[in-house]
Amino acid sequence: MRPADMLRPIEITRHYLTGSPGSVLYRCGDTVVLCTASIQESVPPWMEGRGKGWVTAEYNMLPHSTSPRKGRERSGKVDGRTTEIQRLIGRSMRAVVDLVALGERSVTVDCDVLQADGGTRTAAITGGYIALADAIASSIPDAIDASGLPKSGGPLKDSVSAVSVGVVDGKVWLDLDYQLDSRADVDMNVVMTGKGRFIEIQGTGEEATFDDQQLQELLRFAKKGIVELTHRQQHALSR
């Protein structure tokens, strides 16, 4: 078994689809998410005339991403979990985009879970950022430099990634798979920028509580994971 402070194996495949300016197949252990991003040269009606753009996200789990089969979510029948996750992804992306520098453009990040083994929302955010960066760079060539970092003054202010942490049998773990997550007394998702600033922290006890010391250790593990994920994103975008 991997050490408690180690991420699951990660594979990032950019330009996975030809029909999207940003498409990434993101693997984290046995969790696989297809992240795509597209740009429209317009904004929603309620944004028109403000001189700024918009970034939104959609999230979906395909029928056999889990066992037993998950029913498809038809139009108008999106469940509460899906709504909450796609709002989280959208907030996370907007936190690192200068909407004024983006101009009156709309970016949609689509995250489709092909296989779920824990951490689908964090994988969607981490892979979704790479798709977002590629899509923005397709319209604004100076958005990303040769080393994979956002260029100063461009529409991307920073990178964003996310990871799960938890307390299982009294021990803190990084990047929980389903087996760990199902046994966790405390489960937390942490979203951070590449510069180390928090965007969102979602932490709950499951028939359990946690103290200040455990909270600090959870955040320490999360920060360690975020640093590695940021390096992986930068390396992927530099190729």
Q: Which domains does the chain have, with CATH numbers?
A: 10-238 (3.30.230.70)
The end-to-end CA distance of the chain, in Å, is 31
According to the model, what pLDDT value does residue 63 have?
A: 77
Average pLDDT over residues 77-104: 93
pTM for this predicted structure = 0.94
pLDDT digits (tens, 9 = 90+) for 57-78: 999 988 777 777 777 776 666 7
According to the model, what pLDDT value does residue 195 have?
A: 96
Spell out the residues 6+ positions from residue 96 whose beta carbon is closer than 8 angstroms to its own: 129, 150, 156, 157, 158, 159, 160, 193
At 1, the pLDDT band (50, 70, 90 cuts) reads confident
Model confidence at 201: pLDDT above 70: yes
pLDDT digits (tens, 9 = 90+) for 122-162: 999 999 999 999 999 998 888 888 888 898 889 999 999 99
User: Using the 8-state DSSP alphabet, how is residue 211 labeled?
Assistant: -
Model confidence at 85: pLDDT above 90: yes
Average pLDDT of the chain, as a whole number: 93
According to the model, what pLDDT value does residue 68 have?
A: 75
According to the model, what pLDDT value does residue 74 have?
A: 67
According to the model, what pLDDT value does residue 76 have?
A: 61
Average pLDDT over residues 196-203: 97
Q: What's the angle, vertex CA 57, arms to CA 238 and CA 5, rounded to 5?
A: 60
Helix, coil or strand: residue 105: coil
